[in-house]
Amino acid sequence: MKFYSFPPSPNVRKVNAVIAHLAIADIEHRIVNLAKGEHKRPEFLAINPMGKLPTIVHRGVTVTETAAIIGYLADAFPAAGLAPALDDPARGTWFRWLVFGASAFEPALLDTMMKRPEAQRASVGYGSYDDVLGALETMLEPGPWILGERFSAADVYVGAELAWAASFGAPGIAERPKLTGYIERAKARPAYQRTISA
Ligand X SMILES: N[C@@H](CCC(=O)N[C@@H](CS)C(=O)NCC(=O)O)C(=O)O
In the complex, the residues that contact ligand X under the rule CB under 6 A are 9-11, 34, 39, 52-53, 65-66, 102
Minimum separation from the CB atom of position 152 to ligand X (A): 18
Our CB check for ligand X shows the closer of 12 and 20 to be 12
Minimum separation from the CB atom of position 34 to ligand X (A): 5
With residue 110 as reference, give the H or E element that holds it.
Answer: helix 106-113
Minimum separation from the CB atom of position 63 to ligand X (A): 10
Our CB check for ligand X shows the closer of 39 and 189 to be 39
Our CB check for ligand X shows the closer of 38 and 137 to be 38
Task: Give the whole-angstrom CA distance, residue 74 versus residue 77.
Answer: 5
Our CB check for ligand X shows the closer of 25 and 114 to be 114
Give CA separation, 20 vs 55, 63, 65, 113, in Å.
Answer: 17, 18, 18, 29
Minimum separation from the CB atom of position 6 to ligand X (A): 7
Our CB check for ligand X shows the closer of 65 and 111 to be 65
Task: Give the whole-angstrom CA distance, residue 127 versus residue 123.
Answer: 8
- Chain-centroid distance of CA 115 in Å reads 22
Minimum separation from the CB atom of position 187 to ligand X (A): 19
Task: Give the whole-angstrom CA distance, residue 96 versus residue 128.
Answer: 18
The total number of residues shown for the chain amounts to 198
* Ramachandran sector of residue 50 (left: φ over 0; alpha: ψ -120 to 50; beta: rest): alpha
